[in-house]
Structure 1
């Protein structure tokens, strides 16, 4: 039996297989609100056959958006728009759907990636805002200086995460993922390269982990036992003197002790001097190291693009699930093709069964009752 298509329990959440669609920003929101683009995009991914789809980084306050066109879940308008798009995706698919809650910190207030390379919004452009960070240190030397958060600002950030989590729960998501990766605010507090505070939130590893753990604890209070709750981290800054796998393991153990249901292991994004040896499965050593240290499920991600490659990750015990991002954009039916390659079955709407090779649909596609 294929390990990739075997069931997986993530806390209270039961997945039919171990394929996860990683969160991917679409830069297609209007004032933080989901649009028709999100409706079709989420539905398309939910019909892929993946066991879990995690919706893109969703800002907990307007200043927490990466770009001016990023998704948010911080007021009634953004909640209503999110609810509409989510309801359509749920109508047509049995997939479990989660959301990643995020704050972009000093990497906020940018243009879309296809607008002038996605750099900071120019001074004087009304779409921009002053970013916030643990310390007044920009991501790149030419970026505007962020505002260093004071105690009141930190408390407001914690409240914003809890408020967005409450909204997400009201919408009926199956899972919440806390975004502490890729150089955004929570990662910025973790790394000594971006956090040079001298108060209770800076200096020692214990202090630098404080905000992540406070946010986790605060959200955990409002998340019912029936909903999965976990985190995504960058296991390494790929820069000497930065956040690394040893510190990540300490964080993972602290989170597990607090009831964390899963950890999604990525890397990088904190500093422009990062030197990443990119190649197939290049982040797997991080996932494997963390899996050896904790009992909670570990999701691996990073250039996992071939069915047998994904299968081997699980068979070799390097992770409990695999996440795909760009590969899923390129081939939104990747799980179907993986099931065919591995001799497994995957759920598909009955309307699509005849898309399989003639007479072969029963071998790897099974109809669901999701489509009406």
Structure 2
């Protein structure tokens, strides 16, 4: 009898991109890129996960080349020059291990940024919008030039693009604010810009969430209809895959229906989806994966402690999987 893990260990094709399995490495900020430049240590870190059956690796958030994106110096950037060269080493190592890798394009917005310098939906002017779109376009071109197989736009967790989607942080009265569909206008413009600056057959993933790092109860959509308004604009703008981030993948997205956020995203748009949220941390929950209509499953913290989690979980060696602990975030191997 086939199990959810058996199914996930099988190959899948996203557009024209062949993946060895349906397991995805979720993006996790590790802060190991001095001066924003990926290193050989980063390349070895990602390669190790590809060697153990992860079909698609999504990098930690890589910052666009605009000063408002972040003030942190050890988070990688996705800009021309040394950072692009560093990413080229990363992609070549992952490819040598038979893996595929996507660059996650990121702007922090006001999350973890000083209030006096943070760019937020409410304080960006027209020139600022143009600057941001140019920076996203540049990062998209760098990703393609550095050998990435796909790109992901980070529009989740309370960062800049998600701040546009959340009524708590978007009070604009122009075309970028209002109802759910209007609040999705600028994120959709970013999606369209990135789509226009990468190869036609390169998959474009968009990560979204209800919860924020600053508010786990936050919602960008109170009903499936509102969520459909937002995700419909993403699809129209050129999104190929939707990465629905939850804290716990098994929780229903809306009352009265067992579907999780990825299940609803697929139902509303017809696009392939990635589900994520404590996958593998609770082994008793793995069977629940079969209940949710997602095409791929992303693993996060469990891959910090266990680079070989996919190999162990799919070959009956569960007893060798080491439980994740908060202190494990200091591990980088």
Quote how far apart the aligned CAs of 1:229 are: 0.9
Q: Select 1:50's aligned residue among 46, 54, 66.
A: 54
Quote how far apart the aligned CAs of 1:226 are: 2.3
User: Contact 2:191/2:238 (CA < 8 Å) preserved in 1?
Assistant: no
Instruction: Kindly indicate whether residue 86 of structure 2 is the aligned counterpart of residue 81 of structure 1.
Output: yes
Instruction: Kindly indicate whether residue 306 of structure 2 is the aligned counterpart of residue 328 of structure 1.
Output: no
Quote how far apart the aligned CAs of 1:204 are: 2.6
Quote how far apart the aligned CAs of 1:309 are: 4.1
Quote how far apart the aligned CAs of 1:85 are: 3.1
* 2:250 paired residue number: 281
TM-score by length of 2: 0.82
Q: Alpha-carbon deviations, 1:35-81, whole Å to 9, x = none?
A: 24312211222222111111110101243137332110123222122
- SS of 2:243's equivalent in the other structure is strand
Q: Alpha-carbon deviations, 1:254-282, whole Å to 9, x = none?
A: 22234421100014xxxxxxxxxx65734
Structure 2 spans left out of the alignment, 5+ residues: 253-258, 321-333
Give matches, 1:47-196, under 5 Å: 47-61=51-65, 62-65=67-70, 67-91=72-96, 93-109=97-113, 130-135=117-122, 148-196=123-171
Is the alpha carbon distance of 1:31 and 1:319 closer, same or farther for their aligned partners in structure 2, counting shifts above 3 Å?
Answer: same
Q: Select 1:16's aligned residue among 20, 44, 48.
A: 20
User: Contact 1:99/1:168 (CA < 8 Å) preserved in 2?
Assistant: yes
How big is the alpha-carbon RMSD for the aligned residues of Structure 1 and Structure 2? 2.6
> Which 4+ runs in 1 deviate beyond 6 A?
none
Quote how far apart the aligned CAs of 1:244 are: 4.3
Cα distance in 2 between the residues matched to 1:266 and 1:331: 21
Give matches, 1:234-273, under 5 Å: 234-236=209-211, 238-239=216-217, 242-244=220-222, 246=224, 247-267=226-246
Structure 1 spans left out of the alignment, 5+ residues: 110-119, 124-128, 136-147, 268-277, 343-355, 357-372
Is the alpha carbon distance of 1:65 and 1:240 closer, same or farther for their aligned partners in structure 2, counting shifts above 3 Å?
Answer: closer
Instruction: Kindly indicate whether residue 190 of structure 2 is the aligned counterpart of residue 204 of structure 1.
Output: no
Is the alpha carbon distance of 1:280 and 1:69 closer, same or farther for their aligned partners in structure 2, counting shifts above 3 Å?
Answer: same
User: Contact 1:97/1:175 (CA < 8 Å) preserved in 2?
Assistant: yes
Is the alpha carbon distance of 1:164 and 1:7 closer, same or farther for their aligned partners in structure 2, counting shifts above 3 Å?
Answer: same
Cα distance in 2 between the residues matched to 1:286 and 1:245: 12
User: Contact 1:106/1:133 (CA < 8 Å) preserved in 2?
Assistant: yes
- Name the larger-Rg structure: 1
Is the alpha carbon distance of 1:168 and 1:312 closer, same or farther for their aligned partners in structure 2, counting shifts above 3 Å?
Answer: same
User: Contact 1:177/1:230 (CA < 8 Å) preserved in 2?
Assistant: yes
Aligned residues: 303
User: Contact 1:58/1:65 (CA < 8 Å) preserved in 2?
Assistant: no
- SS of 1:54's equivalent in the other structure is strand
- SS of 1:197's equivalent in the other structure is coil
Cα distance in 2 between the residues matched to 1:161 and 1:310: 36
